[in-house]
Amino acid sequence: MTRLKTEDICNISSRVEHYNKRLLECTGKSLLGIACYACETDERRIKPVIESFCIHVVPDTSGQGIITGFCETVCAILRFLGFSAVVSEKADLSGVAHAYESRADAFMMADDNRFAGINLKNNCVIDNSRTTGRAFAAALDLMADGVKDHSVLIMGCGPVGAAAAQTVLFWGASVLLYDIYPQAAQSLEQRLLKDSWPGRKIEIQNDLHKGFSKTRLIIEATPSADTIEDDLISDHMVVAAPGVPLGISTAGCSILKNRVIHDKLELGVAVMAVSLVLQEKDLYKREIRSRKQYV
Ligand code: 2YC
């Protein structure tokens, strides 16, 4: 998991409107629209609830401590979506206790290992890695006019890539699993094969060049830069890239134009927030069901 730096996130708040417009150009949906699509719900159902849904973003001083601007950026994304969100004046347990005492609907918090949202009414825990994988799978599905019956190359088989793989499988795609550490791809393959995916293939793809020749649909979820070299980028490739740093160069992005989506917080936070509102009953239950098969 890449730890964000202040310079990674310092422009997000001021550019969220601009990013929203880019998402509309690339996918036909807004940040909220993509989040609802990822959660298989409808904006009309969510919008009436959002304004009164209060989320506290609680600073966490443990481990390597506070990332300047992190909580404020998460809060700005939530407010852009229409949520009643605040950065807690208190950190750590004091901030969590304050969220309960002020009857917040949920709180979000990130230490060095996890970034999670917790619904204080039903105790649902929403994990950023899972929501980020789901969010970028949704963005890919929208940019590609549907992943169903296609293969998707999953670059990076960590928690984000795993969630993206599961989501595109849900939506009828086959997956090619690539990781710089073959055992990471093998372990994800084994976990995914515990579910049944009739008519879909789950294959390990050790050779990236071959992977790019097999499919134009890519989830780039690695923590490395320059994983997709410019000369491998074709003008019909579609890339959803949750990996930090972005694995594609500026030149590569100008070849892809509206067929590449990347951000460092926005989409994952948006799906966290919608998932918290949804009470996660259906999605949560389905994930629990499938997670039982993963453990
Ligand atoms: O400011 C704070 O409260 C810090 N404790 C926040 C630490 C976040 C560490 N995690 C990350 O940088 C990112 C997550 C946003 C998702 C993956 N890595």
Ligand 1 pocket residue status of 2, Cβ below 6 Å: yes
Ligand 1 pocket residue status of 1, Cβ below 6 Å: yes
Tell me, in angstroms, the distance from the centre of ligand 1 to residue 60's CA: 9
Q: Is the separation of the CB atoms in 37 and 87 below 8 Å?
A: no
Residue nearest to atom 10 of ligand 1 (CA): 3
Among the listed residues 211, 156, 165, 171, the one whose alpha carbon sits nearest the alpha carbon of residue 192: 165
**How much of the chain, in percent, has pLDDT values that exceed 70?**
94
Residue nearest to atom 11 of ligand 1 (CA): 3
Tell me, in angstroms, the distance from the centre of ligand 1 to residue 65's CA: 9
pLDDT at 121: 92
Q: Which residue has the higher pLDDT, 284 or 234?
A: 234
Tokens representing 42?
A: 């409808």
Average pLDDT for 145-160: 98
Ligand 1 pocket residue status of 70, Cβ below 6 Å: yes
pLDDT range class, residue 235, cuts 50, 70, 90: confident
**Among 17-26, 107-116, 255-264, 272-281, whose mean pLDDT is lowest?**
272-281
Q: Distance of CA 156 to CAs 88, 137, 163, 287, Å?
A: 34, 14, 11, 21
Average pLDDT for 101-107: 97
Q: Is the pLDDT score of 284 beyond 60? A: no
Q: Is the pLDDT score of 2 beyond 90? A: no
**Is the bond into 245 cis (omega within 30 degrees of 0)?**
yes
pLDDT range class, residue 238, cuts 50, 70, 90: very high
Tell me, in angstroms, the distance from the centre of ligand 1 to residue 131's CA: 15
**Among 162-171, 224-233, 270-279, 282-291, whose mean pLDDT is lowest?**
282-291
Q: Distance of CA 102 to CAs 61, 72, 86, 88, Å?
A: 21, 19, 12, 11
Q: Is the separation of the CB atoms in 133 and 38 below 8 Å?
A: no
Tell me, in angstroms, the distance from the centre of ligand 1 to residue 181's CA: 24
Ligand 1 atom showing the smallest separation from residue 129 Cα: 16
Ligand 1 pocket residue status of 53, Cβ below 6 Å: no
pLDDT at 255: 95
Q: Is the pLDDT score of 205 beyond 70? A: yes
Average pLDDT for 217-229: 96
Q: Is the pTM of this model over 0.85?
A: yes
Q: Is the pLDDT score of 201 beyond 70? A: yes
Tell me, in angstroms, the distance from the centre of ligand 1 to residue 112's CA: 6
Cα gap 99→176, rounded to integer Å: 42
What are the backbone dihedrals phi and psi of residue 60, each rounded to the nearest 5 degrees, phi first? -125, 120
Residue type for position 219: I
CA dihedral 147, 223, 183, 208 (to 10 degrees): 60
Ligand 1 pocket residue status of 223, Cβ below 6 Å: no
Q: Is the pLDDT score of 286 beyond 60? A: no
Residue nearest to atom 6 of ligand 1 (CA): 110
* DSSP string of 114-145, one letter each residue: -EEEEETTT--EEEHHHHHHHHHHHHHHHHTT
pLDDT at 92: 98
pLDDT at 212: 96
Tell me, in angstroms, the distance from the centre of ligand 1 to residue 231's CA: 33
22-77 tens-digit pLDDT: 999 999 999 999 999 999 999 999 999 999 999 999 999 999 999 999 999 999 99
pLDDT at 279: 67
Residue nearest to atom 13 of ligand 1 (CA): 3
- Taking the CB of residue 65, how many other CB atoms lie within 10 A of it? 12
Q: Is the pLDDT score of 291 beyond 70? A: no
Ligand 1 atom showing the smallest separation from residue 65 Cα: 5
